[in-house]
Structures are given as C-alpha cells and as structure tokens.
C-alpha cells in the first residue's frame, strides 16, 4: 500500500512537471514589446543589440538604441511558463539610460513624457 502511494505521488509530480518548462530564451518580439512599453516608445523607434544570456540564466541583458541616439541598458527575466502560453511569465523590461540619472527606470523623467506620477515625485 505504501509503495502504491509512493508510485502515485512520483507519477503525479512527474506529470505536473511536464506542464511547466524553464524558459531560458525569450523571443526578440517579447523583448521588443516589453521594451516599448517600458520606454514609452513605438517598436519602430529603437533597435535591440548586444543580447546576452549569461550562464544560460533566465535573464536576458541587451542594449537599446533609439532613433534619436539615446542608449539604454535593459534586461528582462523569464520564469516558469506554461507550454500553452510561452513567455507569459516574462518580467517587464528594466532599463537604465546610459549616462542618465541614477535610479531612472526609463529615462523619461528628464524628457518630454512627464506624467502626474512623475510630477508628484518631483521628477519633472
């Protein structure tokens, strides 16, 4: 009886594990979508280069260059995702402008995109 419960438990865990995959690769489209949202730019307004996935980790680091010449270091992290909805658990892009102020998540606090939240924080 104990062996039967053990076998059932092992099989259940094995089948549950098949529904999840550790994704180490995020598509370029996912990076572009997340970056466009974070920077408040259209996808056509920037390019992504220097993509790196150190030690086959679940994080992707990359360089973003806008058409106006601004540069950002960015990363997106991936978690466990369902086979049915790949990349649904990818984080938002986290970007810092190269040469921008420290602590700026997108570099917009000094630019034209000043919203109510940035005004309230005294960043405009």
Residue 57 parent element (H or E): none
pLDDT reported for residue 19: 40
81: left (phi over 0), alpha (psi -120 to 50) or beta: beta
- The average confidence (pLDDT) of the chain is 72
Percent of the chain with pLDDT over 90: 33
- Predicted confidence (pLDDT) at residue 14 exceeds the cutoff of 70: no
Q: Which position has the higher pLDDT, 63 or 124?
A: 63
- Predicted confidence (pLDDT) at residue 36 exceeds the cutoff of 70: yes
Question: Residue 92 is encoded by which pair of tokens?
Answer: 């938002």
pLDDT reported for residue 88: 59
Of the CA atoms within 13 Å of residue 17, those in its CB half-sphere come to: 6
What's the average model confidence in pLDDT over 50-77? Answer: 90
């Amino acid at each position: 009886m104990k062996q039967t419960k053990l076998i059932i438990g092992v099989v259940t865990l094995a089948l549950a594990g098949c529904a999840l995959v550790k994704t180490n690769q995020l598509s370029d489209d996912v990076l572009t979508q997340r970056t466009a949202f974070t920077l408040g730019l259209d996808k056509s307004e920037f390019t992504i280069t220097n993509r790196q996935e150190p030690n086959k980790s679940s994080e992707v680091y990359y360089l973003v260059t806008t058409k106006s010449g601004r540069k950002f270091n960015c990363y997106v992290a991936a978690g466990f995702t369902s086979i049915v909805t790949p990349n649904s658990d990818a984080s938002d892009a986290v970007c810092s402008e190269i040469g921008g102020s420290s602590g700026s998540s997108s570099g917009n606090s000094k630019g034209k995109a000043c919203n109510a939240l940035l005004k309230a924080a005294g960043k405009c």
